Structure 1
Amino acid sequence: MDFTLEPYIDKTGTLFYEVAPNANGSATISVVLQDDGSSAPPNENTSAPLTFTITVNPINDPPYFTIGPNINIDEHNGPFSMTNWATNISAGAPDEDASQQITFILNTKSITTYLQYDADPAVDTSGTLTFTATPHYNGTAVYEIYLQDDGPSTPPHDNTSPVQGFSITVDFINDAPSFTIGPDIVVDEGDQTYSLPGWATNISPGESPNEQDQALNFTVVFQQVSGNLAFLRAPTIDDTGLLTFRPTQHTHGEAIFDVYLTDDGQYEPPHQNQSDKQSFKITVNKVNYPPTDIILNNTRVLEKQPAGTLVGQLRTEDLDPEDTFDYALVPGDGADNNDLFAIDGDQLVTADVFDWETQKTLTCRIKTSDGEFSFEKSFVITIEKLIEGIKFPNAFTPNGDGENDTWELEDIEAFPNATVAIYDNTGRRVYYQSQGYQPWDGTFNGTKLPMGTYYYVIDLHDGKNIYKGTVTIIL
């Protein structure tokens, strides 16, 4: 046992000593009393020695340590470990360090709702702090920590350090939302809106409990298309996973889309508010629609033309623009004169020579087919008189005798769109007729015109000639 002040006794008999810090044990002290007289024999100035013992009992000192900093980490940090978080660790006195076992005790003072641990915080004897926060959980926990040794604790012994406090904060990180994409879609052409509830499933704003109130939004991005496929209503997905779309009627093909999910949380790194992109395909199968009409671009043909003369070009009205069609003459209503015509590809041609005098109109019935569906229609073909030239009389006598009273234009009825205009010698128009000539009787507004020369302009509207000349009224 060491003394910082060695034992001594003053002349009053008071004993003085000071034991070194943390020293304990027993010390046997020998003491003599000495005066200041002569010590030369036979003189004696020192008493016989006496001994006594000083015993210092051991007291368990409290352990101590220096606490580390508060901890702040992000979610998803995984196992956390900080060496030397606690420092200056001691069981108490040097002699206790070698003989006593020490343990850090942590008590939770407070913890927020969304913080959980897979491995609770702990500090080992070297001062290393470890814990593992549960993924997707965050918040703050406040702890009390003290160091305890295995020595006695009954006063005056003390085996516990003063309590200190620290906190662990796990910061919220916005997790990317997620979902399971639905299957590819296959439908037929048609005028229909498709609504597929629950097409997207497992829709989640993220796994953290405090993300569950975030608003979610699906974005659908067009990537590529084949065929003539178009959409009257482009595909959309609501936050329940309902997929809605409407193809444009009579279009078909395949369209590929990317889709991703976003939440309204933070997006700056390390936050994420957008899921990975996923792709899906919509296939609209072609549906063959039946023909709805046959168009013949001309229904008039001149008499006395050779067999094989073109009557007109055939065209089919159909909702399938890429379809091809075959044409044929078929029996049925309006097929009375089928034998007088023939089909050459998409053309109706004559199969005989026609005579206007006996064949003013003829009928035939035609069928168009796309290989699956067909449509039939009858046509009336008008036979036009062959006009070698209209005769324009140069005079007439409108005197009421029943002979040559009107200006007759032979064969002009073959030109139903013809216009006839007649002018007097002053340039005044005294007669005009269009779309069906009525022979002129030599009057203007019901009044007989005087004898004389009049001028005519006749346009047959046949794309050829306009005829001009004079006609004389003779009375």
Structure 2
Amino acid sequence: MKYTIIFFLVVSQIVAQSDVPLSLRAQFNGTYDYVVIGNTHNEFDNWQVPTPECELLTQTSASLNLQPNQNIIAAYLYWSGIGDGTFDTTITFNGIDYQADEIFVGFPEPNDIVDYYSAYKNITNQVINTGNGLYNFNNLNLNPIIEDYCGAFVQYLGWHLVVVYNQTNIENKQLNVYDGFSIAFDQFNNGITPFAINNLNVVAVNDAKITYIAYNGSPNLFFNESITFNGNILSNSLNPSNNPFNGTNSFTGSNTNWNQDIDTFDVSTSINIGDTEAELILSSFSFRSIPTLITSIRSELPDATVSINQVTGQEVCGNRNLVVTYTVFNTNSNAALPSNVPVSFYVNNTLIETINTTSAIAIGGSLNLQNTISIPASFGNNFTLQILVDNSAVIASSVAESNEGNNTSNTQNITLSTALVTPIFAGVNPICSGATLSALPTISTNGISGTWSPALNNLQTTVYTFTPNAGQCASSNSLTITVNPSVTTTFSAVNPICSGATLSALPTISTNGISGTWSPALNNLQTTVYTFTPNAGQCASSTTFTITVNSLVTPTFTAVNPICSGETLSALPTISTNGISGSWSPALNNLQTTEYTFGPTTGQCASSTRLTIEIVPNLQPDFSAISLCENDTSFSLNSISPNGIVGSWLPSIVDSTTSGFYTFTPNSGQCANNQTIEITINPITLQDFEVEVSHPFSTNATITVIINSIGNYSFQLDDGSIQSSNIFQNVTSGIHSVTVYQNDGCAISITKNDILIIHYPLFFTPNGDGFNDTWTISDLFLQPNVPIYIFDRYGKLLKQISTIGNGWDGTYNGQNMPSDSYWFTVDYQFNSTSKKFSAAFALKR
């Protein structure tokens, strides 16, 4: 496992000006490496001819391109520029607005009026979530405050992102990230203090490197510039030894990164295996600012830290021997922590005892320990307790560590118990005599253990004494448990009720003030014994209570015979045959069958009863109105209606000459109404009628009936349907009969026969089957002398036949004529007038 611990290492660099010395932001021990991306907001080098416009960009970008096996662990965003960081404090990075977690401010010259700053923001989560891609830095505009910097050509702005990643296939190393606002400005010849890299144990020199990020460098203005590591001047292909601050970027290879340097140097030839420290000197006659420094060296050291888990014993009265449980860790390390590391205990920052660890702790491991520490009386009862690991009164550090600044544990504030404590117990509620009494607690609410005496007694009030167990600095205490005697509940009696009567709820508080509940539920139908159970905590006994419920008597009455609707109905009796008085409802009704309810007078314990009086509806005789022909004396009125009602008529004999009204009166005892009907005497209007037929050979043959008298008639052709129209349409050829009926009640009809409709066959089939083998106009049989002439379609006469002969057999001169249309002409008489008719017919074979 690999761990990261953030701490600060304070180092001086330049003493003539005000800066913030670089200090350790974070240390990573393990298979870690890093990459730096960023960009300048200066479009040109400040020192060039012609002099560039004094203006800073507000937006730039850079790309991150990690390999798939390089997993991001941390990402620190820095931006640095003119001013003190209070102008335009919010920047936007890939669409997310940020304000700095920390700002470092410095100025290059004593009493200078211009400031510079560097800002730090931890954006690890954003970079992990985004991963590779283009990162945009924008919305930082320092141009409104640039004027004071333009005259000396010292305006700059830029940003850089330090990304630390884990890569399992590389060697372990110690990777340190330092930040602040260090100034390299030797113009005043005040001397330079080296930057020390301590806490090393170099195990290999390969891959050792440093990276610094510097601002305000120039390839056009430089003097007395150098980077020295362990006395060796550093240089590479981008950074000459005399001009390392020249606007270059080792990660992109750019040499136009104006006024910003992101430079990496190989220092493997400047260190040796076994080195425990290194020093770095950054020097320049001109003003350069260094906000970030990164070192990566294969160093293997443990890192001892300690944490107090628990302290016990202070709660024991007068006890000064405390049991301390704690854990020693070796987390952010590249080497095991050996055994016999001193662990020192400090009370109020005074060493009182040191012990040594008993075993080594592996990389990423821990060791749980416990020791009893005696606290001298001179420290009193209130003090602080701390542990320092790898530290004793004699030796400040017995084991070289990667971080010597994190050996102190968390601080414990201790208060020793000295005064006697009174055990506290919750009061016990009074109980009723004989009730269950729970055992008293053997540990008080404030943590005192002990015993009680005497034994519990649930029959009488008793005082109990609690005696604490020895060694607790606690006093005894007493507790009284009250035992109340039981009380018998009393209630007023309830008078007997009739079955079904309303039963008032029983009181839930007795006459002597005991509250409780009754069971079972109230029953107003039968005598019941009820039990009263007092509510808990009243020390009262239960009691029983009987409520008598008298059975109801059912009143009896003599039945009332059915009556006819509308007959008089006698009043019902108000006293039953078994002596129950009361009243009836609803009011008597002699028009329809009704159920009446008898309600007994209050106080008789009698139930209501019902009596139904049937009202027989009056039947209506169902005689129909009658129509008769005048002078019809054969009709007489029936004394029994169709629905079976017997009665008599007034008048009793029908006058067959005059229409009138007749009233039927039912015989008594039948519950029937009278009925009056009208008998209509109709005159005979149908005497005779005439018939007109349409012309022979009409396409729609009709028969029209003509009646000279006014009346209501209907008409029938042959045995067909009777119709109201006097005209028959599409009548077939041949002889017919017509019947006329008078419809007004008189059963009169007249029939005329031998009505002739003349037409001709439209085709014939002379095939010898006995059907339609010849053609003639048989409907002219009453005119036997009428000749009929038959022609072919060309007008050739084929045959002359008569209306009474066999007709034409479809031959000519003994030869069968073909299937075709043929014509005929006929001269005939109609209505005493000579007529001539021609038409075609078909021969089909």
Same-fold call, TM cutoff 0.5: no
The structure with the larger Rg is: 2
Q: Normalising by the residue count of structure 1, what TM-score does the alignment of the two structures yield?
A: 0.27
Higher RCO, 1 vs 2 (CA within 8 Å, ≥6 residues apart): 1
Q: Normalising by the residue count of structure 2, what TM-score does the alignment of the two structures yield?
A: 0.17
